[in-house]
Structure 1
Amino acid sequence: MTEFPAIVFTDLDGTLLDHHDYSYSAASPAIKILKSFNIPIILASSKTAAEIAPLRADMGLSAYPAIVENGAGLLHANCIPPTDSGADYRKIRETLNNTPTKLRRYYKGFGDISDAECAALTGLSPDAATRARQRAYSEPGLWSGSETDLHAFLRSLSEHGISARQGGRYLTLSFGKTKADQMATLCQNYGNPPVIALGDAPNDLEMLQAADHPVLILNPDAAPFAIPINLSNRITRSTKSGPAGWNETVLSIVSSLTTQAKGA
């Protein structure tokens, strides 16, 4: 088996991608360095396989798998979607529509809006918005009700095995698999090298906790959230936001790892 000096798992929106224009150009120097050291870069996002596949190809990362829909599914290496029947998504939508009307009205998921409405809501291009709605495993949406109603809404869904995760913008419903769950499996496939993980939102915390080198990317647009003490004591925080922060922290960590390897 090929030995890898490290492996990178990275969130996209607000982390590797700029939160406003979805560009990763500021992170290009670090991506180039990672490739030169044969360090796999695994994209891990709430995005769908249909969204991630062209982005992964544009970055030159199609040889690596990607974690899609917040860990609810995988896009395999060199694979073109669709790769799943979408049975999980249909069950989520059916359960969602069977929740009490007084609670259901406060949740607007991607399945409740058109491609054009999705483009306006997310800032995505029309084609990208269409891909964002090609879901197989999870349903992102916006909650507009009270905290009390939210707890009741989530209790209702949990009776059917559906859990929710709050990302930087959306409350995403799924059957519970996380980015960290998928990360553990993929690490084994790559021989369990040191793990660098980068994220900016609460739904990245489990992934960061499972990493050897966790990185929290500054996101000035997101609401503050609590960091577990056992993670806060060892996390690296970027001083820049988005891909610029990604670039600075990855370059620093890789420099440290390669220096250690030379001295070993």
Structure 2
Amino acid sequence: MQCQLRRFINDSMTATTDLIVFTDLDGTLIDHDTYDWSPAQPALSALKGMSAGVVLASSKTAAEIIPLRQTLGLHQWPAIVENGAGILSPNGAETQDASQYNELLSILTKIPPALRDLFRGFGACSPEQVIDMTGLTAKAAQLAKQRMFSEPGLWLGTDMQKAEFLKILTAQGVTAQQGGRFLSLSFGTNKVDQMRRIIETYRPKHTIALGDAPNDVKMLEHAEFGVVIANPHRSPLPPLTGEEDGHILRTKASGPMGWNMAIHDLLDRLELH
């Protein structure tokens, strides 16, 4: 996928667009419990009507994003997958290359069992266990296990044990990002790294980013306007850079309802309707 990304960056048209929206999925564009996005449909339709870009930026795999992006009518835009560890090119159905993922799993097997067993990663789980962890359907759980770059999982130990676990991984070149539910391990790039590359390619006049979790913070702060979507299932994010001057906003409504209201408010503010 990284080779395809390089071709995408080198070969894409650099025509400007007025607006690109970068959005997290679970708990943001998609409801935390029901996985429904229909409350956001009015704003999605408004963005489509003005030819604005919508880039999905999620911990989900390419296998998960491809059908979802098609359903949302966003297949003509790139998507950021596996928390920024990879990117899905416009209209692309990427060829699976799990070499990075297999290397990551190999590193995990070398961690002392007392620590390794406190991390319940997708790779060590059956589809049925992934369903229990995520609430996904059986088909969606199978897609979530088709990983190429990163390993998400639940941390079952203490903060002190987690710090020791991550210290060992860092020495092996593995980085960690805390999402809404899962700790995600990979070898490098995050959502904002891929966001920068997409902005460099499309050169939008305006950018908006929306998210609800710690792994969204850098993406929110890098956008012209960042929107923290309320999520009653976790503690709110701390004050962010740009919040005092109005470039970071917070919604009162959660999930896709908050997403819909925030996009309409910002389109009015930017006079882009």
Sort the TM-score into its range (normalised by shorter chain).
Answer: over 0.9
> What 5-or-longer segments of structure 2 have no aligned partner?
1-13
Task: Determine what percentage of the aligned residue pairs are the same residue.
Answer: 44
Q: Given the alignment of the two structures, is residue 144 of structure 1 paired with residue 156 of structure 2, yes or no? A: yes
Q: Given the alignment of the two structures, is residue 241 of structure 1 paired with residue 254 of structure 2, yes or no? A: yes
1:125 alignment partner in structure 2: 137
Deviations 1:46-84 (A, max 9, x none): 000000110000001101110000000001111114x34
2:181 alignment partner in structure 1: 169
> What 5-or-longer segments of structure 1 have no aligned partner?
none
Give secondary structure in 1 for the equivalent of 2:97: coil
Q: Given the alignment of the two structures, is residue 3 of structure 1 paired with residue 41 of structure 2, yes or no? A: no
Q: Given the alignment of the two structures, is residue 255 of structure 1 paired with residue 261 of structure 2, yes or no? A: no
1:216 alignment partner in structure 2: 228
Indicate which of 211, 225, 229 corresponds to 1:199: 211
2:200 alignment partner in structure 1: 188
| Structure 2: distance between partners of 1:108 and 1:62 | 32
| Structure 1: distance between partners of 2:233 and 2:227 | 18
1:21 alignment partner in structure 2: 34
Q: Given the alignment of the two structures, is residue 158 of structure 1 paired with residue 170 of structure 2, yes or no? A: yes
Q: Quick check: 2:240–2:248 contact (8 Å CA) kept in 1?
A: no
Change (3 A) 1:23 1:232: farther
1:53 alignment partner in structure 2: 66
1:178 alignment partner in structure 2: 190
Count of aligned positions: 259
| Structure 2: distance between partners of 1:92 and 1:232 | 40
Give secondary structure in 1 for the equivalent of 2:162: helix
Indicate which of 18, 25, 32 corresponds to 1:12: 25
After superposing the two structures, state which structure 1 stretch, 188-197 or 159-168, moved more: 188-197
Give secondary structure in 1 for the equivalent of 2:216: helix
1:134 alignment partner in structure 2: 146
Q: Quick check: 1:187–1:193 contact (8 Å CA) kept in 2?
A: no
> Could you tell me which amino acid in structure 2 is paired with residue 221 of structure 1?
H
How far residue 104 of structure 1 moved from its aligned partner, in angstroms, is: 0.5
Q: Given the alignment of the two structures, is residue 100 of structure 1 paired with residue 112 of structure 2, yes or no? A: yes
TM-score by length of 2: 0.92
Give secondary structure in 1 for the equivalent of 2:21: strand
TM-score by length of 1: 0.95
| Structure 1: distance between partners of 2:258 and 2:139 | 28
Deviations 1:76-103 (A, max 9, x none): 111114x341111111100011111111
| Structure 2: distance between partners of 1:88 and 1:7 | 29
> Could you tell me which amino acid in structure 1 is paired with residue 113 of structure 2?
T
Deviations 1:202-221 (A, max 9, x none): 00001011100100000000
How far residue 192 of structure 1 moved from its aligned partner, in angstroms, is: 3.7
Indicate which of 51, 64, 84 corresponds to 1:71: 84
RMSD value over aligned CA atoms? 1.4
